[in-house]
Amino acid sequence: MPDIDIFDPASFFDRKIQELQEHIIENRTRLEIQQANQRNVERALSCLVQLDPAQQKALQMELLALQEAAANAEKVIEALTVEIASQTGKLSALQAAKDLVEVAARSEG
């Protein structure tokens, strides 16, 4: 008799749920790191703007680089926030589907 795998919907949803939970954890970690980086960049910027104008001018390239880093961090934070919300919605849908499969299996059994 040949080896034939039987599709198990509950296992399928379990696997998808586990994968998605891992992605959400990774994205939340990345979000926390980006938020920390943004706070640190803003702290550096707030120090630079307290310098006198001549010192600010001398550090103009650094100031511009930090402003760009802050803007980039904000974009990444926004993107991660949207992605986490989307993944959380998908996770909820997968869990609901898994629950339906389990109810259907109990009613068949």
Distance of alpha carbon 78 from alpha carbon 35, whole angstroms: 10
Distance of alpha carbon 66 from alpha carbon 13, whole angstroms: 44
What tens digit of pLDDT does each residue of 18-67 get?
A: 999 999 999 999 999 999 999 999 999 999 999 999 999 999 999 999 99
What tens digit of pLDDT does each residue of 56-99 get?
A: 999 999 999 999 999 999 999 999 999 999 999 999 999 999 99
Q: Where are the domains of the chain?
A: 30-108
